[in-house]
Structure 1
Amino acid sequence: MEKTYTVSVFTENSIGMMNRVTIIFTRRHLNIDSITASESEVKGVFRYTIVLRTTRDQVDKVVKQLEKVIDVLKAFVHEESEIVHQEIAMYKMRTESLTNGDVEKVIRKHHARILTVDPTFMVIEKTGHVEETQLLLENLQPYGVLEFVRSGRVAITKPMKELRSYIEEL
């Protein structure tokens, strides 16, 4: 049965690493729903957070294959209940849409905030799960959204074992 999984891949910072990681998913015909990359809490170690929808068997095979890649230190698979996650979305709208009090009500209702107001446009920010950011987009559409962008998932695991302890074990 297909479910949503979050894969955390910890790597050294080397050129072409993103390509080496994603090619493993491509070869197995797995679609990546989102991918984010950033530094981790350990200096010199980078973290890729990859979200995909597949079976447990498939995701376990991918994680095993990822760990064989040079410069990959460790890879983990997490189910939704094992992580805390968020995404960030930004919406660009004409500043004149603020004259209608309804836009401000929509922003407040969704616990979003205005990041910047320019004479011609404004930028609204919303953090939350994909369903929340999508709902705000749908609620703002009647007022004229000029641009919309959503980040990939950023996630932290609930288990307390630190990355440092995994690296020490290696």
Structure 2
Amino acid sequence: METTFTVSVFTENSIGILNRITIIFTRRHLNIDSITASESEVKGVFRYTIVLRTHREQIDKVVGQIEKLIDVVKVFVHEDQDVVHQEIALYKIKSGRLTNGDVEKVIRENHARILTVDPQFMVIEKTGHVAETQQLFEKLKPHGILEFARSGRVAITKPMKELSTYLKELEQ
């Protein structure tokens, strides 16, 4: 049975490392649902958060291959119940729709917020899980969505040791 996995890859900041990581998924015919990249809590170490649906055996093989790459510090795999995660979505809709109050009601009911209002458009922000951001998309669709963008997953693991602890263990 396929499961959703969140893979956290910690690397040194080197050119081409993301390409080398994604090639491993491509060779195994695995589709990445989302990917985000940022600095980690440790100076000089970067974090890639990759979300995909596959089988446990397959993800274990992929992790083994990623960990063999030069510049990869550590890789962790977690199922959804082991992470706290969010995504951010931005919706751009026509400003003329604001006058009837329906849009404001939808925004409040979905715990979203208005980022900017322009004479021609407004931008709304919603933070949550994919289902929540998609639900707001469906509710705003009749009001004329001009643009829509959703980030990849940003996740913090529940049971993991601090990365600095793993780095100290590797030094010993």
Give the TM bin, normalised by the shorter chain.
over 0.9
Partner residue, 2:113: 113
Change (3 A) 1:19 1:160: closer
How far 1:48 moved relative to its partner?
Answer: 0.3
Q: Helix, strand or coil for the counterpart of 1:29?
A: coil
Alignment size in residue pairs: 170
What CA distance in whole angstroms lies between the structure 1 residues aligned with 2:72 and 2:80?
Answer: 23
Runs of 4+ in 1 over 4 A off after TM superposition: none
Structure 1 counterpart of 2:102, which letter? D
Partner residue, 2:149: 149
Q: Helix, strand or coil for the counterpart of 2:87?
A: strand
What CA distance in whole angstroms lies between the structure 2 residues aligned with 1:159 and 1:4?
Answer: 17
**Is 1:126 matched up with 2:114?**
no
Partner residue, 2:29: 29
Unmatched 5+ residue regions in structure 1?
A: none
Unmatched 5+ residue regions in structure 2?
A: none
Structure 2 counterpart of 1:34, which letter? S
What CA distance in whole angstroms lies between the structure 1 residues aligned with 2:100 and 2:32?
Answer: 39
How far 1:160 moved relative to its partner?
Answer: 4.8
Q: Helix, strand or coil for the counterpart of 1:62?
A: helix
TM-score (norm 1): 0.99
Q: Helix, strand or coil for the counterpart of 2:149?
A: strand
Partner residue, 1:164: 164
**Is 1:54 matched up with 2:43?**
no
What CA distance in whole angstroms lies between the structure 2 residues aligned with 1:14 and 1:122?
Answer: 38
Give CA deviations for 1:91-123 in whole Å, capped at 9, x if unaligned.
001111111200100000000000011111110
What CA distance in whole angstroms lies between the structure 1 residues aligned with 2:140 and 2:95?
Answer: 13
Give CA deviations for 1:44-87 in whole Å, capped at 9, x if unaligned.
10000000000000001111110000100000100111000000
Partner residue, 1:69: 69
Q: CA RMSD in A?
A: 0.6
Partner residue, 1:13: 13
Structure 2 counterpart of 1:129, which letter? H
